[in-house]
Amino acid sequence: MPTLTPHEDVSSLKGVGPKKRAALSSAGIETVADLLTYFPRTWEDRRNRVKVSGLEEQVPAGFTARVLSVKRPAHSYRSGRRTPLVITAGDETGAVEIVFFQSHYMERIFLPGGDFYFFGTPARNYGKLTLIHPEFERVGADSEFGGYPIVPVYPLKAGISQLDMRRWHRDALGAAAAAPDILPKDIVSRLSLCGRDFALTHIHFPADRHALSAARYRLIFEELFLLATALGLLRERNAHAAPGIAFSDSIRPDDFSRLLPFGMTGAQARTVSEIYADMESERQMNRLVQGDVGSGKTAVAMAAAYKAARDGYQSVLMAPTEILATQHYAEFLRLFGAEQTPAAPAARSLRIRLLTASVRKSERDGILAELAAGAVDILIGTHALLQPDVVFGKLGLVITDEQHRFGVNQRIGLSEKGETQPDILVMTATPIPRTLAFILYGDLDVSLIDELPPGRKPVATKAVGSGKRGEVYKFAATQVAKGHQVYVVCPLIEENTESEAMAGVRSAGSVHAELSRKFPGLNIALLHGTMKQAEKDGIMEAFTAGEIPILVSTVVIEVGVNVPNATIMIVENSERFGLAQLHQLRGRVGRGASASYCVLITDSTSEEALTRAKIMTETNDGFVIAEKDLEMRGPGEFFGVRQHGLPELKISDMVRNASMLETVKQESARLLTEDPRLEGPENAALKRGIEDIVSNLSNPGL
């Protein structure tokens, strides 16, 4: 067969007809190059070749044996299921039973006297060793194992076998040499990396474990390096794209901090200084502010909006829920809409409006008219801000809160409402592991608020079984008697009696009714997402004002709600929540000066639920929790990687390969310092290799 080239269609491979071509396409394999980068999920070491007598239970091994007998029970369709084909094969040391199910065609292959090579893992069945569906090939035939001692095992799509994949990969290996090495030669030399053709050959059919290790390291580094460099190149392009707004330096961080009724933490002050420096530069600000619950990100957003307003520009803040948007609106009003004082005269006063889906049309029309005329300094709202009729007079700053709740296109859509490129500030209270933040926000500058305001105490957390529920609520009643407030969070709104899987899962409705009977003298409220917005707002206003001592809710209160007087968070069926959710829920308490508590109620014995509970009781550090969450869930599920336009990682892993990321970042930064736009001829292949990544990052799908 003539040598294939990387860009040839996979239909050029022997045995790839229309059906298998379609199956390969469903796996993302269109060309020979795609096939070469469709990596094995594991490898089988077939150097362990033994005699039949040397086979051991649960130890993978290969052996050569002659077929001694082939039998199938006389009643071959018992109870509607085909009975197995049982083969006895042996050598001079003994015999072993080999079983195939759903295998009527095997009778034509395994004829007594035939010699075969088998590979599999023996198991004990009724006291004797048996191999179920081992891999096999006829001795003396053209080896489908390719004579390689370590054999690849691929993830498969319906209609494709391991045998198919191995044949095609073996036939495609010649194209590996034709593929250009896209890593710069000095990096390959400095890090002692193997060549790309060696890596692509030995990742599929390694000569030994050392060759496999070298191939894996090279390809993992390459994948992460390409992504890091694509993100760096995108940042460089953004910096030299349409110029941003160069705000004046007339407003300094101290000018804003004097307006606050409290002192900023060192981390807040550092972040505000970084934001002000960005805003005063001629390039567009693209900054992520990352901080744990209660770290004071809202004050940082206020500082940015204040600077923009004092320079004659409008700001917009988009929050994921009406509850959070309303809370931001109230906090902005308290600082910028309050009565003037000698210490903070007219410098404090700003025009602030709230725009959500529940705002009445007449009020909305008035807000939009003011906004277009430039009579609104700060507009706060939800997805309603994205409507086409929301037009700004002079937009200078876009702030998105809880960024992971929005797609990147929504952030871009909001920024496009400015005639010039507005500065962009992205905030999240969901701690993102540093390893994943490097990938997710490689195109943004990052500020980390890693310091809590003074006086904040860690929330004491305990996990208990349902048998302790009575004690938990008795303790909650004592807190209420002291004037404090309690959250009770349930995974369901109403009980689901039809689902066996939901049996025993507590609902907000039933818990509210139960507590109302248990504490008849207390005002116990119920809050969930299907209520009308006005009703939800009324309940939250009453709870914030201290008029409701116990609030039973679903996760609608997960993010952002700030009630310093609440000191207890009780989570029913805590096994139904992920680590990130549990940490966010716990963050609703401990926001005042009083000692606070979080109680996780669960009877689950699953290893995952027990691990989550253990982590929650051992640490309050959101970044530690995020790292653990990433380890448990993986990057794709952890943060919806797809919505960021990031490519699917084919061989690297953010958790297992975290130690390599620092080297990747250093090498990528070194390269982009020397050649910021990859214009040098020596980097041409690399630039071509990352074009698709840059394009997807620039125009991510939702």
Confidence of residue 142 (pLDDT cuts 50, 70, 90): low
Q: What is the mean pLDDT of residues 568-592?
A: 90
pLDDT at 621 over 80: yes
Cα 677 to the center of its chain, rounded Å? 29
By CB atoms closer than 10 A (0-12, 13-18, 19+), residue 543 is buried
pLDDT at 699: 52
pLDDT at 141: 59
Residue 286 vs residue 543, higher pLDDT: 543
pLDDT at 675: 93
Is residue 696 within 8 A of residue 641, CB to CB? The reply is no
Residue 441 vs residue 13, higher pLDDT: 13
Is residue 183 within 8 A of residue 197, CB to CB? The reply is no
Q: What is the mean pLDDT of residues 512-537?
A: 90
Q: What is the mean pLDDT of residues 26-34?
A: 91
Query: Per residue in 643-686, pLDDT tens?
Result: 455 677 889 877 678 778 889 988 998 999 999 889 999 898 89
pLDDT at 630: 74
Confidence of residue 488 (pLDDT cuts 50, 70, 90): very high
pLDDT at 256 over 90: yes
Architecture of domain 253-449: 3-Layer(aba) Sandwich (3.40)
Residue 538 vs residue 194, higher pLDDT: 194
pLDDT at 145: 53
Q: What is the mean pLDDT of residues 540-549?
A: 91
What 603-606 contacts at long range (C-beta under 8 Å, 24+ apart), as own/partner pairs, is 603/465, 603/466, 603/504, 604/575, 606/575
pLDDT at 339: 44
> What mean pLDDT, rounded, does the chain reach?
84
pLDDT at 136: 84
The amino acid at residue 140 is G
pLDDT at 340 over 70: no
Q: Which CATH class is domain 1-42+145-179?
A: mainly alpha
pLDDT at 58 over 70: yes
By CB atoms closer than 10 A (0-12, 13-18, 19+), residue 647 is middle
What are the start and end residues of each CATH 2.40.50.140 domain in the chain?
A: 47-140
pLDDT at 635 over 80: no
Which residues have CB under 8 Å from 517's CB, separation 6+? none
Confidence of residue 413 (pLDDT cuts 50, 70, 90): low
Cα 483 to the center of its chain, rounded Å? 40
Q: Whole-angstrom Cα distance, residue 65 to residue 641?
A: 49
pLDDT at 80: 44
pLDDT at 557 over 70: yes
What is the Cα Rg of the chain in Å? 32
What are the start and end residues of each CATH 3.40.50.300 domain in the chain?
A: 253-449, 460-619
* Residue 101 tokens, joined: 């199910």
Q: Whole-angstrom Cα distance, residue 439 to residue 648?
A: 12
Q: Whole-angstrom Cα distance, residue 65 to residue 118?
A: 8
pTM of the predicted protein model = 0.66
The CATH number of 460-619 is: 3.40.50.300
Query: Per residue in 190-222, pLDDT tens?
Result: 999 999 999 999 999 998 999 999 999 999 999
For residue 120, what are the β-bridge partners? 61
pLDDT at 156 over 80: yes
Which one of 45-59, 247-261, 616-630 scores highest in mean pLDDT? 247-261
The fold of the 47-140 domain, in CATH, is: OB fold (Dihydrolipoamide Acetyltransferase, E2P) (2.40.50)
* Nearest one of 164, 104, 96 to 132, comparing CA atoms: 96
Q: What is the mean pLDDT of residues 161-179?
A: 87
Q: Whole-angstrom Cα distance, residue 68 to residue 45?
A: 27
Phi-psi region of 441 (alpha: psi -120 to 50; beta: other; left: phi over 0): alpha
Q: What is the mean pLDDT of residues 569-580?
A: 92
Confidence of residue 701 (pLDDT cuts 50, 70, 90): very low
* Residue 612 tokens, joined: 């989550």
